[in-house]
Amino acid sequence: MRSAPVAAERLAARYDAVRRATERIAEPLSAEDCAAQSMPDASPIRWHLAHTSWFFETFVLARADAGYRRFDTRFDFLFNSYYNAIGERVARPMRGKMTRPDLGEVLEYRAHVDRAVARLLEREAPPALELGLNHEQQHQELMLTDLKHLLALNPLRPCYRERASTATVPAAPLRFLRFEGGLHAIGHDGTGFAFDNEGPRHQVFTQPFELAARPVTNGEFLEFVEAGGYQDPQWWLSDGWDWVVAESIRAPEYWSREERGRKVFTLAGELDLAPSEPVAHVGFYEADAFARWAGARLPREDEWERAAAGLPVEGHFAESGELHPRPTIDRDASAPAALFGDVWEWTASPYVAYPGFRPASGALGEYNGKFMSNRMVLRGGSCASPGSHLRATYRNFFVPTARWQFSGFRLARDA
């Protein structure tokens, strides 16, 4: 008879832990830090704090609690992200131009929602609550990557959080592991939480392939840069080359332009580029060009998931506090290392629906399904991802030019 109360207590504790983790990200920041928006793809920290509360208010409280009173009905317009079924909203590039409500009122809004959710959990646990928690964990990572982009534009090169250690070790040697071909099941099996785009589970036929035992490093990518890789169109997809030329791209995001003593901007400020760390903040086009230059290719997402199946979700995540990729130490010769954490890994797979996928009805059906066009899939999570949020079937997705996330890659080859 105690199972239901115990489960409710655990869910309430998880809710509290996720919400407090979001607020801890903002604690070292000033109100000015929380208000600025560095580019249209990023959002102000204050907006993230409010939007995640709006999600619980709109999809949990307003639907499950008939007596719930909204904090401010105007927030439906201010903090809706992209849900057309909900109504009009502030255009994404304009989020940084809203000076009201101020940070203090946004924090009051969060507290108002938290109190209402606590009362609701005394009676029931709506299914959308778990989605809301995972949604907020996604925004925790976005807060860190949006903040990094913002601070990198500051000439003072400010530090958000000191790193515990900047000591580095050599990366494991680059080697490839062979995987046999055949029919394999990929996609979520229905056990535990997953986003709708992770299913249905289905069979795919995979040819024999080889996968690198670790991600590509800064040192290896620097060789591509110094060999003129960004100036040679033979390595680039057509759209990628047009992007490189139009934007004068010459190196990964946050790398300094100086060829000697190259620096990289991090959430701990500007540091020396560490050759053994996984390369981060590269777009799909850059990853693909490097792979061609190296005589390899990017893995498809079914190959990546095949390699990750059965492996524990272990790695360097946001909980470590490092907020920066670490060199890969190869401890097991039979399995790929660092598949989870450090950097999201670009795959060669377009973000499309799995066979049999059906989006949910109503506004929540807009969560993932309507973005299944012109994006590529990434796998594995990063040093800014909450570790409890990840699994082998998790499908992240961005446009091919996106670089402000902790995105890297590993190589693959036909066997």
Residue range 327-353: mean pLDDT, rounded: 92
3-152 and 176-414 share one fold: no
Average confidence (pLDDT) over 205-223: 97
Q: What angle do CA 116, 89, 369 make, to 5 degrees?
A: 85
pLDDT at 295: 98
Instruction: Tell me: pLDDT of 164 over 90.
Output: no
**pLDDT of the residue at 33:** 98
Contact predicate 40/93, CB 8 Å = yes
CATH superfamily membership of 176-414: paralog of FGE (formylglycine-generating enzyme) (3.90.1580.10)
Burial of 206 (0-12, 13-18, 19+ CB in 10 A): middle
Q: What pLDDT was estimated at residue 7?
A: 74
pLDDT per residue as tens digits for the range 182-203: 999 999 998 999 999 999 999 9
Cβ–Cβ under 8 Å, residues 379 and 304: yes
In percent, the amount of the chain with pLDDT more than 90 equals: 87
Q: In the predicted model, is pLDDT for residue 78 greater than 60?
A: yes
- Asked if residue 229 has pLDDT above 90, the reply is yes
CB distance 345 to 215 below 8 Å: yes
Neighbours of 254 (CB within 10 A): 18
Write out pLDDT tens, residues 247-275. 999 999 999 987 767 999 999 999 999 99
Q: Residue-wise over 53-66: b if at least 16 C-beta within 10 A, else e?
A: bbbbbbbbbeebbe
pLDDT at 261: 73
Q: Would you place residue 5 in the very low, low, confident or very high pLDDT band (cuts 50, 70, 90)?
A: low
Residue 361 pLDDT level (bands cut at 50, 70, 90): confident
With a cut of 60, say whether residue 3 has pLDDT above it. no
**pLDDT score for 225:** 97
Average pLDDT over residues 407-413: 98
The domain limits of the chain are 3-152, 176-414
Write down the pLDDT at residue 260: 67
Residue 344 β-bridge partners: 407
Q: Over 90: is that where the pLDDT of 170 sits?
A: no
| Mean pLDDT of all residues in 28-54 | 98
pLDDT (average), residues 310-334? 90
Mean pLDDT of the chain: 94
Which residues are 210's β-sheet partners?
178, 413
Q: Is the pLDDT of residue 2 over 60?
A: no
Could you tell me the pLDDT band of residue 1, with boundaries at 50, 70 and 90?
very low
Helix (H) or strand (E) holding 210: strand 209-212
* Number of DSSP helices (H) and strands (E) in the chain, helices first: 11, 11
Q: Does domain 3-152 have CATH number 2.40.160?
A: no
What is the tens place of the pLDDT at every residue in 367-402? 988 999 999 999 999 999 999 999 999 999 999 999
51 phi/psi in degrees, rounded to 5: -60, -40
